[in-house]
Amino acid sequence: MQGQLANLLPLVLFFALMYFFLIRPQQREQKKRQEMLRSIKEGDKVITTGGMHAVITKVTDNTVLARIAQGVEVEFQKSGVGAVIRE
């Protein structure tokens, strides 16, 4: 009985380490990104995942309208926002 428990201990330890070093930080980053996407508002300066710099002009549930140049606006998914530039 003790031999079986001793054999399981490294496996349990391995999964605990995987959780604390890989899964938990990834969940924290995902939560932070979701919060950033929820907080997008008109006038925010953003960088898209494609690398374009833009200013948000309209926000809906799933999409944003962004001005990338004078007189040029594009609509894309909120998930396309890579970062919000806070100055």
Contact, 37 vs 79, CB < 8 A? yes
In tens, the pLDDT along 10-22 reads 888 999 999 989 9
Question: For the chain, which residues make up each domain, given as ranges?
Answer: 1-38, 41-87
Q: What is the pLDDT of residues 13-50, one digit of tens each?
A: 999 999 989 999 999 999 999 999 999 999 999 999 99
- Order of strands across the sheet with 72-77? 72-77, 63-69, 53-59, 45-48, 81-85
- For residue 1, name the pLDDT band (cuts at 50, 70, 90): low
- The answer, yes or no, to whether residue 2 has pLDDT greater than 90, is no
CA gap 42, 76 in Å, rounded: 14
Q: How far apart are CA 11 and CA 84, in angstroms?
A: 41
* Confidence at 7, pLDDT banded by 50, 70, 90: confident
